[in-house]
Structure 1
């Protein structure tokens, strides 16, 4: 792939990603489709796959469909070493530990559960998490955008830019009722988007582009808030967002310091999931 073609495919990809998300939110915000209707809920789930749908369309437009299979191949990479499973699932353990320490230090009674802990509730939470964010977004953000951006900007630069784009992609959800972002503090969410993207790139680069591990980490982040603030009720959800932001900053800084900003990895460049682009 040439440099110009790479930039073109990225540009088409990001434009399509935003059209899908902003168009969907516009349907609900303008009252064209009631947000509590089953059809809108179905479209909302489909819309969470917007980054992946946009990647498929971008490849069809700019590459005649070449590489579509590569978007999903990373889901088959499960043999990555036990340590990377620990890294991918670490948000659960860290969220529980830090929230508990915060609760003890503050010396206040816990707010209490906001959600019932029942088998149907847990099953529904897991099903929605699997059908939407972590599963739907990762082939687009990680398998399509990350390798291309890394070629141009390096691992850290690509992660920061993609994290900012991820913030802007989520932005319209703050203006639509019945979404998780409606009424949510924006600053900790934005900080977490950038730092989480850095950590996702770190996992992706060190597991030969494993979408399985990237999706598992993304899923763990999403579920941890529901577990700690919603089901256990150890801290209020707004407090949890700030705790999460601080923890992710610490981990991102440690990763950058230990693995370096160029690749976020100590492996040779030949093993990195960077897009191979001609100099022309």
Structure 2
């Protein structure tokens, strides 16, 4: 956990994070899309907070133990893995059930079959196999990038801010900084699912603030950064690689309803965040208060 004194290293961490990130912002924006350099630019960007946290510890003469490296009880990573799958399923069930989007995008289903090499196998079988592979093998790849962010945001920053501001303030300020860190690629690259920036940005900010409450709770309750990395990886994986692409468009309204830049998922996540916030009294640790 972070020290509660005035010298917690927050300023140095933020300076290093945004300084390192500027290199990858420029590279991503120059290409115009997140797939620049076959995704290596965005991978570098996602590791900037983690590298900044490690450098901050080094420059301050601290060991990296404050970042929460221990694995802890298995129930927390499992909870972190399943919660995004749950809230995504609820959000997209609302989208499909209300006709804001349809389940079963033919183009995506065709790509799955072609990628798996199963030829004329039924769409349901291709989808099931893809989902199993995504949730296992795909999770390893997603975790390798999500970990870079979480070493910084939840390993270093969230406990330090909670120590100063209490759980609610620390979680929300961490989320606000996290959201601001995304803005250059949201505004100047293609980190968007097709909605105008003035609509996408509020939806994304609400989603990130809600996520920050969940992940800060997990960080403090488990004493580990790993559940946060697992939740981050699970969220990115299932929403970006399954629920969004398998949703068929139903007119121009669909982009406004789906993904991280539509309104349904952020609203569902607000409800989930409130549930976790109401359980803040269960938190333990020197940096934990229930404000």
Short-chain TM bin? 0.7 to 0.9
Contact 1:71 / 1:144 at 8 angstroms: preserved in 2?
Answer: yes
Partner Cα separation in structure 2 for residue 72 and residue 119 of structure 1:
38
Superposition pairs of residues 252-271 of structure 1, within 5 angstroms: 252-256=273-277, 258-259=278-279, 264-267=280-283, 271=284
Q: Does 1:246 align with 2:248?
A: no
Residue aligning to 2:154: 142
Residue aligning to 1:67: 63
Partner Cα separation in structure 2 for residue 244 and residue 2 of structure 1:
35
SS in 2 for 1:249: helix
Deviations 1:223-242 (A, max 9, x none): 23221111354884542232
Residue aligning to 2:86: 93
Partner Cα separation in structure 2 for residue 44 and residue 248 of structure 1:
25
Residue aligning to 1:102: 95
Residue aligning to 1:44: 42
Partner Cα separation in structure 1 for residue 107 and residue 230 of structure 2:
25
Q: Does 1:206 align with 2:199?
A: no
TM-score of the superposition, structure 2-length normalised?
0.74
SS in 1 for 2:191: coil
Q: What is the Cα deviation at residue 80 of structure 1? A: 4.2
TM-score of the superposition, structure 1-length normalised?
0.77
Deviations 1:175-208 (A, max 9, x none): 443x43485522211111111000111112222x
Partner Cα separation in structure 2 for residue 125 and residue 232 of structure 1:
20
Instruction: Name the Cα RMSD after superposition.
Output: 3.2
Q: What is the Cα deviation at residue 247 of structure 1? A: 0.7
Contact 1:113 / 1:229 at 8 angstroms: preserved in 2?
Answer: no
Deviations 1:216-265 (A, max 9, x none): 21122212322111135488454223221001111112222x32xxxx23
